[in-house]
Amino acid sequence: MLLYDNAISGNCYKVRLLFSLLGIEYERREVSVIDRSNRAELLGDLNPGLRVPTLVLDDGRPLAESDAILVYFAEGTEYLPTDRYERAQALQWMFFEQYSHEPNIAVLRFWAHAEIKPDPREALAKFNGGLAALEAMERHLTGRDFFVGDRATVADIALYAYTHVADEGGFEIARFEAIGAWLERVRTLPGYVSI
């Protein structure tokens, strides 16, 4: 199995984290997220969005989108609930991650890493969006150990990826007590690997 990967990308890290938790072996190929010049040749037949992570299964079939890759590999494991409602709740939080969390928190972090100076109004909108996402997580996690049920699922992996490095995008994550305790719970899962 081959993972087109990037070392600082949280979306790619989600896949590496699940693989490590499940003891799944794979090869990785580093792809720059800044130099896009060879993207079409590299990923053209594999990922409609030409982005990473992109996974190629042993039989050659490709799979794109970090959260779809998580669901595929979590099938049949403790990380994907079998109960219909809990499974839908896990997806609910993954869609939240892709619409309300990642587009704000990951983008601010990326701009900081790439030393991109955004329009201040655009940066403020991203910051406010990210803050709203963190506040929603904090409310949900207050009195709970994990996002769905009483154990870690793909929803926790998806949300952990960019939350644990949100300070790199300017968010004061220490302000969020329930999120802090949850980050620690994920960090101590057997097989955990850092970004």
Q: Name the residues that contact ligand GSH, by CB under 6 A.
A: 6, 9, 11, 33, 36, 51-53, 65-67, 98
In whole angstroms, the minimum distance from the beta carbon of 171 to ligand GSH comes to: 17
In whole angstroms, the minimum distance from the beta carbon of 55 to ligand GSH comes to: 10
Over its C-alpha atoms, the chain yields an Rg (Å, rounded) of: 16
Under DSSP, is residue 91 helix (H, G, I), strand (E, B) or coil?
Answer: helix
The helix (run of H) or strand (run of E) holding residue 22 is helix 10-22
In whole angstroms, the minimum distance from the beta carbon of 66 to ligand GSH comes to: 4
Q: Could you give the CA distance from residue 144 to residue 115 in angstroms, rounded to a whole number?
A: 37
DSSP letters, 102-162, are HHHHHHHHHHHHTT----HHHHHHHHHHHHHHHHHHHHHHTT-SSSSTTS--HHHHHHHHH
**Amino acid (one-letter) located at 10:** G
The residue among 106, 127, 119, 120 whose CA lies nearest residue 33 is 106
Residue closer to ligand GSH, measured from CB, 11 or 163 = 11
Residue closer to ligand GSH, measured from CB, 6 or 104 = 6
Residue closer to ligand GSH, measured from CB, 50 or 178 = 50
In whole angstroms, the minimum distance from the beta carbon of 22 to ligand GSH comes to: 19
In whole angstroms, the minimum distance from the beta carbon of 67 to ligand GSH comes to: 6
Residue closer to ligand GSH, measured from CB, 181 or 193 = 193
Residue closer to ligand GSH, measured from CB, 100 or 145 = 100
Q: Could you give the CA distance from residue 140 to residue 195 in angstroms, rounded to a whole number?
A: 25
Residue number with the smallest Cβ distance to ligand GSH: 51
